[in-house]
Structure 1
Amino acid sequence: MKYLSVFTLLLASVYASAQPVRSTAVPAKAKTYTTLQVPGRAEFCKIDVNGKSVLPSGRYVTPAGQTLRISNDPFGLAIAPNGQKAVSLHDGVLTVFNLASLQATRIPDYAGKIPPALKAGSFLGVAFAPDNRTAYLSNGDKGRVLVFDTEQLRTIDSISLDGDGYTDSFTSDLLLNGNELLVLDRANFRMVRIDLATKRIRTSIPTGRQPFGLAISPDRKLAFVANVGLYAYPKVPGVTKTNKDTMALKFPPYAAHTKESAEGVEVEGRRIPGLGSPLADEAMSVWTVDLSTNKVVYKAKTGVQIGEMIEEAEVVGGSSPNSVVVGSRYAYVSNATNDNISILDYKPASRTAKRLVGTISLKVDPKLDRYRGLMPFGMALTKDQKTLYVALLALNAVAVVDVSTRKVTGLIPTGWGPTRVALSPDEKTVYVVSARGHGAGPNGGATFVKPPQGTYIGDIQLGTFQAVPVPDAAQLVTYTKQVLANTYETVTLTDDGRNPLPVLPKTRQSPIKHIVYITKENRTYDEVFGQLKTGDGDSTLARFGEGVTIKTRVSTSRGTSGRTTDKPIDSVRVTGADIMPNHLRVARQFAFSDNFYCDSDASIHGHHWMLGTIPNEWVEANAASEGRFDMDSKAPGRRFPKASGAIDPEDYNEIGGLWEAFERNKISMYNFGQVNEFAGNIEEWTTTQFGAAQSVVFPMPKAVYPHTSRDFAGYNTNVPDQYRMEQFEREFTAKWIKGKEKMPQFVTMQIPNDHGAGPRPDFAYPYLHSYMADNDLAVGRVLHFLSRTKYWKNMLVIITEDDPQGGVDHIDAHRSVLLMAGPYVKRNYVSHTHANFGSVLKTMYNILGVPYVNQYDQTASLLQDFFTDKPDYRPYEVVLPDGRVFDPQAAMKPYKKVFDWRKIQKGPEMDDRADQRAEHYRQQNGEY
């Protein structure tokens, strides 16, 4: 309770200093509520390998047993038959463990003495041969199986999955079956059988879509394939590599899980094929293969199915069956989206007997169990088939399940994001690998020392390997308490009705009626706000702040061969430049956080988290592996979404995320530019209608599809943010100022150019900094515009980033930008409360009266310190960034548009006096 008491005192003092003096007596109408909040809500992120590490979520990790820090994102794990070695598989890297001494060898090593083994790409699959020396490795995107010698530490052979009419193979999971390998090819939707004597494929057996997990029965007669794919996505008719710029679809043709997506539609003068039913046998299912006949003998739809109802919420996400373990009669399937395990009887008494005979609901705590948020992934089954170990990707724990009672008996603490769990041959030790381990920590600053693995967020963030003695009952109780304490604390709060942010949803009305959620791309706190003296920043890292010197790297001379002979030097191009003055001005005038973290490493995670969707194992595994997209490939699995700025149907959580929550609760909403980026998109400077055009047919989430602007360019750094502002102001004015519609309660807007891109001097972007300045001016324009509308008096604007991968930070590589503005936001305030996307979502849900969706919303910190009950209606005044860095008129020139600064400063065209009078009385009459 130490942290809680310090936090409470801190909040009390901060809040008191910002408010008028009031009576200390609690008003009669005050009510007391119990909330769940993360234990690290008064702390900054930190790594303590011998104690508690504080994650970006504000949760702790305290891995049990002996722990090694290894390369990031281990998604494959195998133990040698004699129990002396283990191998973990990462993206292009593998780690070989000596289990007796618990030492790890990375291949390749950082010193360059051990050469690479994988030669780019890997994915899930790893298996040991009976000789305890040879390991078979998935070469992922390369479509090969590599044979690796764990003693010589080198690759000794390679087997291709291509051939016999199959191309573009992608190696997924694999296992050894006597003198053959069973290997999944997720690109061609098949399982192949490879003869190890000849290194040739014996046969190919069709599977469902995107085969992901593979297991075999103890008698080796049956194989089980878990398919995580939902749809097979067709190419847009008429699109070729030469005409895609003009023939690609300007907007997604339909929403997911609709009549249109099932049957197809007529769009843009073409018949766009449908995707079929999400309940098809090929979609998110487990197939049983008879190895004696090479026939699929049973197709099981495990978990909860799309379209079913759970507690008055429609299921929109498939179950995502990803891993299978098999006993003498039953197979167990982890359904990530549903937080449960399906039990499959593969030896039924008769052909008509029921095969799916039960479900193990992974209930871990009565306070959490109502919501999803565990994401079961890898599993291990004891030899007596009485105990099941399940890696809970999103809880940072391994669940211990009593198979006979079908109940969780306890939890074992792991690193951040456990992916695989295995047992030693004597079953005395549990081995666990976790994708993100203790977190990232700082990746820059005056005292920072660069580690050998690098400083990019995906490199500096190491995974973990744990060796945990199998706990007895008493130890398991202790471990379980630790996992839950790492996840949340129960906090009792008194709500006196004054703070605009209610303690819980649906407890009272907030004076805030409109929320504008602005998301940007890829920046850390220090590179934007490092100079702010009121926050914990490092000014030496503030490359996009005030008074910045812009340098470019140039060569000094060339020899007679034309090659550079001297080392490049830095050439100063601009000095004393204010790159993002509006960000700094908003931070100083309104409120910002110096303790906000993206849960994400990159966009492929970020656009999930910030829209209320926990990335599942499919997202995480794809993010950690190369995967070539090819719209023309004969392999249907090569047309997979791998969305970096959208959410794929394969990724939808059980009852969805933010969009679905608002739809269920009848919250009016509108979307400018979110969920627009899928694999294979065309993003040119002329692609301005939606920012991206589609070469392959990918649907949008059903809840947001009809509420999305058809004239706003989402992610596409070739389009100026100034162009987006013209689109936004034009549509906002037409719909909600001059039109008859009221502004929706919730509006999302993507302003992405702070992602940055290569210099484009011919398009007014001579430096990387030019993109930042363009983005900064757009942010300033949004607030300038909104604060001059009639809706401002009841508005909250939240501004943040989808991920922090573009920069460095002296606290943690995940620390990023969070700004809040509006009449009910404190002026000149910095929040030190630990915040993440869950905190932002909780803020929106509590204000708009929307129940929480998942455990991350439920347990996030409560950001009441940002707000005041004394509104200040003063508008924001936008300022121009340095014209030497970014010229907005030049950026708009290719579009033959004028950057009218005077018009921008004037603000939106306001209604006349009669309209204002009518609006006043509508509000007084309770209509608004």
Structure 2
Amino acid sequence: MKHLSLVFLLLPIVVCAQKTYQTLQVPGRSAFCSIDTAGRSVLPSGRYVTPVGRTLRITNDPFGMALSPDGKKAVTLHDGVLTVMNLDGTPTTTRIPDYAGTIKSPVNGATFLGVAFAPDNKTVYLSNGDKGRVIVYDIDRLQTIDSIALDGNGYTDSFTSDLLLNGNELLVLDRANFRLVRIDLSTKQITASIPTGRQPFGLAVSPDRTLAFVANVGLYEYPKVPGVTPTNKDTMMLQFPAYGAHTKESREGVEIDGRKIPGLGDPLADEAMSVWVVDLKTGKVVSKLKTGVQIGGMIEEAEVVGGSSPNSVVVGSRYAYVSNATNDNISIIDYKTRKLAGTIPLKLDRNDGSPKLDRYRGLMPFGLALSREGKTLYVALLAFNAVAVVDIPTRKVRGLIPTGWGPTRVALSPDQETLYVTSARGYGAGPNGGRTFVKPSQGTYIGDIQLGTFQDIPVPDAAQLAAYTRQVLGNTYQTVAVADNGRNPLPPLPKVRQSPIKHIVYITKENRTYDEVFGQLKTGRGDSTLARFGLGVTIRNRIATDRGNSGRTTDRPVDTVAITKADIMPNHSRIAQQFAFSDNFYCDSDASIHGHHWMMGTIPNEWVEANAASAGRFDAFSKAPGRRFPKASGAIDPEDYNEIGGLWEALERSKVSFYNFGQVNEYAGNYEEQYDTTFGAAHPVAFPMPAAAFRHTSRNFAGYNTNIPDQFRMDQFEREFTAKWLPTKGKPPKETLPQLITVMLPNDHGAGPRADDGYPYLHSYMADNDLATGRILHFLSRTPYWKNMLVIITEDDPQGGVDHIDAHRSVLMLAGPYVRRGYVSHTHANFGSILKVIYNVLNVPYVNQYDLTASLLQDFFTDKPDLRHYDVVLPDGRVFDPQTAMKPYNKTFDWRKIQKGPEMDDRADQRAEHYRQQADN
């Protein structure tokens, strides 16, 4: 017994103090995406939607809605489509144009926000968006009555935004020319053009019809780069953004290569993100009001970088109410005094002791409706999947009503007993391919298969509203107790302890779904019939004619086999199986315009969403200043910034080092050619980069541009990484490796075949991207930093493919010594989950409600590091030849050098350097 006691005394005693932390996580963290219109649908975010009342599925993205004066009909406006709803009795819908093509579209593919009913309950006025016209349409006869152009009297390139009927005239916003247009309906003539602020978006009138209120969402008027013309743009465009936003340089301008690039001016100018009040009797602007929180202010020790984004206005007997999307609040305007009269904060916390939502943003108030007596305001919360019911006398949120995904508009019936609500994405997308999938009439592209919703909801009493409120909050998050013994490399919250992971490399790619890359993996929930970019793939060429037995050419396309048994993306399969991947990860985004916001921690606001759902012609050389409008598909514009920013700003506030290779490079009007290799794109207009990113972005890495091989990007990455952060020739690194590195590898977006450049098939772009992805992991795993590194690999959006679970399901792989080997995670994950990994590991406070409530991906990690590196493999040479792809740049694809890994000091080098220095002494 004495000997046994001695043995116990000699053993090391390890005591792991276990703590329990309260976290917020989405309720669907154990579920796959699904649609259940009779119950609970699971969204890509892991949140649920359970729209109440009677719910109709309609075309996606209804950003405009109007009720007929008699309350018996409603019209919603979508991207090139309108839906007419008969609300008298059992609701019915008519889509115009219909899928069969029997009903002609009156808008010719162009719409925006505005729709209004005439007193006859059948004539509607429709925004013709990019066409710069107002369409007059009879919804009973389904015929166009008239079309009224906004151009003329010196104005060109008009863009029709919101509109409304004001007695015998029509008030129309022209966002391209920054004006309010008055149209006499008896003559169909424009009687006045009244200047507004930038990018006028929302419009309302006072009950006595004497005042018009214009909500302007534009922040800057963006100047053309001096010297750029339509014929010299390939040589004169900016090769990199001129400045970061809201800086001295962006205000005053800079000189670049002998050219003075104009500044953008003051972001607090009257024209920027404001509400203008117009006296309709005199036709004069009588007030310019800055609503919401202003840029440069401080919110809980964080600097405000996003403008308030005022977007919608409703007017009562004395007060007007403005939704400020970025600030999650409502501004009150006393229009008798023409001054701001206060703010209604949209606070939701239940004071039950759980972590708070209200210190974070994430509601995005958009559409508004005001009760007739002026005491209740209904607010569509675009990012919260609910309508807030606000008690105006107390300025408090009385409760929440469940809606579909992304509510846009809300209206009250004439009898004030029914609410009507539209939602952009309804129940979500669902599957868009697979063995048992049946193609619906609207098609399979993610933006088509994902239908919107129209709800009619009896106005709830207090008891029903309380139940609805519990339902909304339960759909959004749960309080989850996480026991933590200090071992998992992913802490449960930021700033509770240090992780052994010191460096994160965040690699983002383009447009792929899970099934088309990983559908063959046996350990994941995939459909191998959709794995067109997997292993052993048959590549087919489609030709447009078939001569058949008759020898005559027909229009029937024919597939011919080009290659069999091709391995398209072998590195993806190897990385997934050697390290860890998710079969339950979803992009929150439908397309790049959303994806590049979500990836970088920025919730797309109403400006982003409305522009994504509408065609809009950008023209750097137009006389209309609003035609140089920001609509970045791969960047983040100043109009889009969240209140305290996103990932970049959060890192900089916390003094966490970071460096960016290629993100946020694709602004409106980009010029993307094969030799735009310094940034991947050139710009004819001076759009700024987010200031934090501007300060930490490579000036020699090609971002999005599929004309440039991903192999070229990898050469750029390896060169700069080696020069900055690896020891060479006996000397230590020039700089310390940042804690976060972001890298864009975009070529799995795909493009048209370019056989002469090494891309004979669509699959060639995937193979290029696969090789680059393998190369970066091969390289990183051979650096000294690997022992404390995490690599995250994902896609910005899933729009290029199909999936048998959900059209949003996409690729997520994690690699590194602290990642479990050979593991597949079934935890529901989205971009918020990825950002939560970054914030928790690097001890950075969360930025918004999506970070706060995302699922916690601790199952990916192990506390027993495995330092084995990754060995890259070549894809099928018949599909992609990297040497041919590099030929235009006179570069050699050096496979042996790539296999060798980074050029670092070895013992022989250091010995030689030691004796050389001794000899010199």
Scaled to the shorter chain, the TM-score interval is: over 0.9
Aligned residue for 1:707, secondary structure, equals: coil
* Equivalent in 244, 252, 267 of residue 233 of structure 2: 244
User: 1:557 offset after TM fit, Å?
Assistant: 4.8
* Aligned match for 1:364, one of 348, 354, 372: 348
What is the identity, as a one-letter code, of the residue corresponding to 1:389? Y
Identify the residue that residue 857 of structure 2 maps to in structure 1.
Answer: 863
| Amino acid corresponding to residue 49 of structure 1 in structure 2 | T
How far does the alpha carbon of each residue in 1:555-595 deviate from its partner, in whole angstroms, 9 at most, with x for none?
Answer: 44569x99832622111111100000000000000000000
2:246 counterpart of 1:262: no
Q: Is the 8 A contact 1:541 1:809 kept in 2?
A: yes
In structure 1, the partner of 2:52 is 64
After alignment, is 908-917 or 562-571 more displaced? 908-917
In structure 1, distance between residues paired with 2:301 and 2:909: 40
Partner of 2:64: 76
Map of 1:459 onto structure 2: 448
Paired with 1:238 and 1:83, the residues of 2 have a C-alpha distance of 55
Q: Secondary structure at the match of 1:704?
A: helix
Among 730, 734, 754, which residue is 1:760 paired with? 754
CA contact (8 A) 2:234 2:671 kept: yes
Alignment partner, residue 38 of structure 1: 26
In the other structure, the counterpart of 1:14 is none
Structure 2 unmatched ranges of 5 or more: 1-10, 351-355, 728-732, 912-921
Match of 1:573 in 2: 562
Contact 2:216 2:273 in 1 (8 A): yes
1:636-647 equivalences in 2 (<5 Å): 636-647=625-636
Return the alpha-carbon distance in structure 2 between the equivalents of residues 27 and 60 of structure 1: 40
Q: In structure 1, what is the Cα distance between the partners aligned to 2:149 and 2:545?
A: 47
Alignment of 1:533-548 (within 5 A): 533-548=522-537
2:375 corresponds in structure 1 to 386
Q: For the structure 1 residues 381 and 902, does the alpha-carbon distance in structure 2 shift closer, same or farther, using more than 3 Å as the test?
A: same
Q: Hey, what's the Cα distance between the residues in 2 that align with 1:195 and 1:607?
A: 43
Percent of aligned pairs sharing the same letter: 80
Aligned residue among 339, 346, 360 for 1:355: 339
Residue 817 of structure 2 is aligned to residue 823 of structure 1: yes
141, 151, 167: which one pairs with 2:156?
A: 167
Paired with 2:909 and 2:595, the residues of 1 have a C-alpha distance of 41
Match of 2:128 among 114, 139, 149: 139
SS at structure 1 position matched to 2:312: strand
Residue 890 of structure 1 corresponds to which residue in structure 2? Answer: 884
Distance in 2 (alpha carbons) for counterparts of 1:737 and 1:885: 34
Give the TM-score of the pair, scaled to structure 2: 0.95
Work out whether residues 786 and 816 of structure 2, in 8 Å CA contact, stay in contact via their aligned partners in 1.
yes
| CA positional deviation for 1:647 | 0.2
With normalisation by structure 1, the TM-score equals 0.95
Letter in 2 for 1:358: G
Q: Which moved further from structure 2: 456-465 or 701-710?
A: 701-710
What secondary structure does 1:660 align onto?
helix
Q: Which amino acid aligns with 2:809?
A: R
1:606 is the counterpart of 2:606: no
What is the rounded CA distance, in whole Å, between the counterparts of 1:641 and 1:773 in structure 2? 33
Verify the 8 A CA contact 2:22 2:481 in the aligned structure 1. yes
Quote the Cα distance in structure 2 between the aligned partners of 1:753 and 1:707.
23
CA distance in structure 1 between the partners assigned to 2:482 and 2:146 by the alignment = 63
Q: Which residue in the other structure is 1:616 paired with?
A: 605
Matches within 5 A, 1:706-855: 706-738=695-727, 739-855=733-849
Q: Deviations over 1:522-566 (max 9, x none)?
A: 00000000000000000000000000000011144569x998326
Contact 1:27 1:496 in 2 (8 A): no
Counterpart of 2:915 in structure 1 is none
Deviation at 1:28, TM superposition (A): 4.6
Match of 2:273 among 280, 284, 290: 284
Instruction: Look up the equivalent residue of 1:421 and give its one-letter code.
Output: V
- CA distance, structure 1, for counterparts of residue 555 and residue 383 of structure 2: 50
2:321 counterpart of 1:327? no
Secondary structure class of the residue paired with 2:622: coil
Question: Which residue identity is paired with 2:344?
Answer: I
Amino acid at match of 2:627: R
1:262: how far off? 0.4
Deviation at 1:914, TM superposition (A): 10
Aligned position for 2:894: 900
Cα separation, 2, equivalents of 1:81 and 1:879: 67
TM-fit CA distance, 1:911: 2.6
Question: How far is 1:702 from its partner?
Answer: 0.6
In the other structure, the counterpart of 2:652 is 663
1:865 and 1:605 map into 2 onto residues whose CA distance is 28
| Equivalent position of 1:632 in the other structure | 621
Distance 1:916 1:541, change over 3 A: farther
Judging changes above 3 Å, is the alpha-carbon distance between structure 1 residues 281 and 550 closer, same or farther for their aligned structure 2 residues?
same
- The equivalent of 1:336 in structure 2 is 325
Alpha carbons 1:339, 1:376 under 8 Å: kept: yes
SS in 1 for 2:561: strand
- Aligned partner of 2:178 in structure 1 is 189
AA at the equivalent of 2:309: S
For residues 304-344 of structure 1, what are the alpha-carbon distances to aligned partners after superposition, in whole Å with 9 as ceiling and x for unaligned? 00000010000000000000000111110000000000001
Q: For residue 105 of structure 2, what is the aligned residue in structure 1?
A: 116
Deviation string 1:149-170 (CA, Å, 9 cap, x unpaired) is 1101122111000000001000
Aligned ranges 1:222-233 → 2 under 5 Å? 222-233=211-222
Specify the SS of the correspondent of 2:695: helix
**Which residues of 2 match residues 475-490 of structure 1 at below 5 A?**
475-490=464-479
Tell me if structure 2 keeps the 8 A contact 1:777–1:880: yes
CA contact (8 A) 2:332 2:340 kept: yes
1:622-659 per-residue CA deviation (whole Å, 9 max, x = no partner) reads 00000000011010000012000000000000000000
Question: Aligned AA for 1:767?
Answer: Y
Name the SS of the counterpart of 1:759 in structure 2.
Answer: coil
Hey, what does 2:689 align to over in structure 1?
Answer: 700
Rounded to whole Å, the distance in 2 between the matches of 1:430 and 1:914 is: 77
CA contact (8 A) 2:58 2:83 kept: yes
Shift of 1:916: 9.6
> What secondary structure, in the 3-state scheme, does the structure 2 residue paired with 1:703 have?
helix
Report the Cα distance in structure 2 between the residues aligned to 1:160 and 1:831, rounded to whole angstroms: 55
Provide the rounded CA distance (Å) in 2 between the counterparts of 1:191 and 1:483. 38
Give the conservation status (yes or no) of the 8 Å contact 1:514–1:745: yes
Matched AA of 1:33: Y
Q: 1:911 aligns with which of 905, 910, 917?
A: 905
Change (3 A) 1:707 1:916: farther
Q: Residue type matched to 1:327 in 2?
A: G
* 399-408 or 363-372, larger mean C-alpha shift: 363-372
Report the AA paired with residue 54 of structure 2: Q
Cα 1:382–1:643, aligned 2, differ >3 Å: closer, same or farther? Answer: same
Mapped partners of 1:38, 1:658: distance in 2:
20
Measure, in 1, the Cα distance between the counterparts of 2:251 and 2:54.
51
Match runs of 1:82-121 below 5 Å: 82-100=70-88, 101-121=90-110
**3-state SS, counterpart of residue 562 of structure 2:** strand
- Tell me the alpha carbon deviations over residues 589-619 of structure 1, each in whole angstroms, 9 at most, x when there is no partner: 0000000000000000000001000000000
C-alpha deviations, 1:254-290, integer Å up to 9, x for none? 0000000000000122110000000000000000000
Q: Give the CA deviation at 1:364.
A: 1.1
Please give the per-residue CA displacement for 1:449-469, whole angstroms capped at 9, x wherever unaligned: 000000000000000000000
1:869 Cα shift? 0.2
1: CA distance between counterparts of 2:47 and 2:544? Answer: 47
Q: Which runs of 5+ in 1 are unaligned?
A: 1-22, 349-353, 918-928
Residues 1:53 and 2:41 are matched in the alignment? yes
Q: 1:220 to 1:723 in 2, by over 3 A?
A: same
- Aligned residue among 590, 593, 600 for 2:582: 593
Q: Please, what is the CA RMSD of the aligned residues?
A: 1.6
CA distance in 2, matches of 1:86, 1:386: 24
- 2:539 paired with 1:550: yes
